[in-house]
Chains A and B, each alone.
Chain A
Amino acid sequence: MQGLATNHGSAGRVLDPGGGFVRRGLIGLALCFVALFLVLPLVAVFHGAFEKGWRLYLAAIAQPEALAAVKLTLLATAIALPLNLLFGLAAGWAITKFRFRGKNLLVALIDLPFSVSPVIAGLIFVLLFGMQGWFGPWLADHDLRVVFAVPGIVLATVFVTLPMVARALIPLMQDQGHDDELAALSLGASGLQTFWRVTLPNIKWGLLHGVILASARAMGEFGAVSVLSGHIAGRTNTLPLHVEALYNEYQFAAAFAVASLLALFALVTLALKSWVEYRTEGKAS
């Protein structure tokens, strides 16, 4: 690029018509947006959380309802992640390594949880498992509760995060093709050996990337979980739901305190994600 610019100075100028002005303007605009819509709210959350001092902050977080919400959020995430991993791997493998009828349909269906509004996703499960739903009477007969209980929350979390790992893996696995696997097989490896020694190491960073994104989404999910939870404080409230409950009860400082916890989770996953991306780029070059 540099050689081109020095050899054809006029051509270089065409690419940058306003000189430094346009470049600085665009960068400034982007930074303004980031400051206004990302940094400022984040600062506001932490400011609101600590407004009434450390003691109140800690008290808000140490509330039994808040701790229960943290626990439930982590539980739902912990159940959703392995399921995601399994589904993502299976879907990625099937789509990239095999040819079969209905493959495009499968690819489209995987994206469904992204395109459907989370509220509708929640309603679907109410329709299926609620008292008036298809499986409602059967569940009631066997004394099982899905809607307004923990299983419903887990179900909603799994649904909204389902495409995450698959989405991260499919382009990666498509890009890598399956020559590596064929090479391993032709060298005498069994299917399982090929998976553990060749496929998994090849996709591990993509897999981790997908898992991190999925966990961020799982922890922050509001809409679908809100429909299915029933908002029973201390029992079926996840962190985002607990924040809303506190806010509706005019406990602003406590709401912000719990929200800051959620923001902290998000920042940690963001840092992890950046680290993974940094590692993958390092590997690629």
Chain B
Amino acid sequence: MSIEVTGVSRLYGAHRALDNVSLTVQDGELLALLGPSGSGKTTLLRVMAGLEQADAGSVNFFGQDARQQSLRQRNVGFVFQHYALFRHMTVFENVAFGLRVKPRRDRPPRREITRRVQELLGLVQLDGLAQRHPSQLSGGQRQRVALARALAIRPRVLLLDEPFGALDAQVRRELRQWLRKLHDDIGLTSVFVTHDQEEALELADRVAVVHRGRIEQIGTPQEVYHRPQTPFVVSFLGSVNLFHGRIEQGRPVLHDNDGRPTTRIFVRPHDFEVSSQHGPDSVPAILELANTAGPLARLQLRDTKGRAIAVELSLERFRVMRLARGDQLYLTPTQAQVFAT
């Protein structure tokens, strides 16, 4: 166990940013804290780093109570959302900072510092940019400088706050794969914060879904995606349609107009069987919009009560069915998540 968070709460005035959160980070894993903005995920990361104090609860850092440790003793590599690079220093000086401020007895000799910095710049593929200033770098390059700077102090754990948040989509995807490889190569324990579910599911070993200062669910990407435990987790991990209905003989039935008690049924857009023929338990709906610019055809339908339903199906199927706006279709869910109301 690298970091053990137990019953941590953090208040901002009357707002509960963290509400009795417990979490264990396993050695060597890459853990994602996933949640919408304002969910408390960044606060949780900052409490783990020691940049913020918890109002209640404890943080245990490699077997030691973190409250007894200064930031320096904790030895955490923290990558800030906006990088927080020292703007008046060159890339080299930024990366060397953590080594140069060490007390004299721990400080490596000048040549060793130079060697280490060059090595790190090579690791993050920024050789040749050592003498640039942060303002002369692109977003992706700044990101990697921030990473190299955090790695320079040989941290016991690497914490990243929205590491790809400020980058455009293309760079994001590249850096994501690169970070995963880096994590595996140097065998570090890492925690990163993100609001992008795709990023969390693709990159992390485990995902903790954070909502309103609490952890809703924690598990592997497969677990949180396929076996979500709360309605929030379902709706946050990709788009989803909400129905009220019942489970009859193990199958979801999406009718709620016969006055009998119902449950909430979540169906993802790609979990529908689309047909032009009425079937048992199917939901009638009219096709309003179809967007075929992409790997899937994304349809927008409206049911008899005027509620919008999002459906995805393969382009092939879409073409075979010769669908057009205004068509009457029948939807049968093939898979659904059910929560009692």
Contact = CB atoms under 8 A, between A and B. Distances in A.
B98 interface: yes
B82 interface: yes
A183 B80 contact: yes
B87 A202 contact: yes
Interface residues of A, number: 17
A198 B86 contact: yes
Contact of B71 (A185, A197, A201): A185
Given A182-B51, A183-B78, A189 B84 contact: no
A179 B87 CA distance: 12
11 contacts: A182-B80, A184-B101, A186-B49, A186-B77, A187-B97, A187-B152, A188-B98, A188-B102, A197-B97, A197-B101, A202-B87
B84 A188 contact: no
Q: Is the interface of A mostly helix, strand, loop or mixed?
A: helix
A193 interface: yes
A186 B82 contact: no
A2 interface: no
B102 A186 contact: no
A192 to B, nearest CB: 10
B76 interface: yes
B84 A187 contact: no
B149 interface: yes
A180 B87 CA distance: 9
A187 B153 contact: yes
Given A182-B51, A183-B78, A185-B71, A190 B84 contact: no
A183 B84 contact: yes
Interface string A175-212: 00001101111111110010001100110000000000
A185 B102 CA distance: 11
Interface in B138-164: 149-150, 152-153
Given A179-B80, A201-B88, A202-B87, A186 B51 contact: yes
B15 interface: no
Contacts of A185: 71-72
Contacts of B71: 185-186, 188
A183 B150 CA distance: 9
A57 to B, nearest CB: 45
A155 B51 CA distance: 41
Interface in A204-241: none
A187 to B, nearest CB: 4
B97 A186 contact: no
B101 A188 contact: yes
Of listed B71, B76, B82, residue having the most chain A CB within 10 A: B71
B95 to A, nearest CB: 10
A180 B72 CA distance: 15
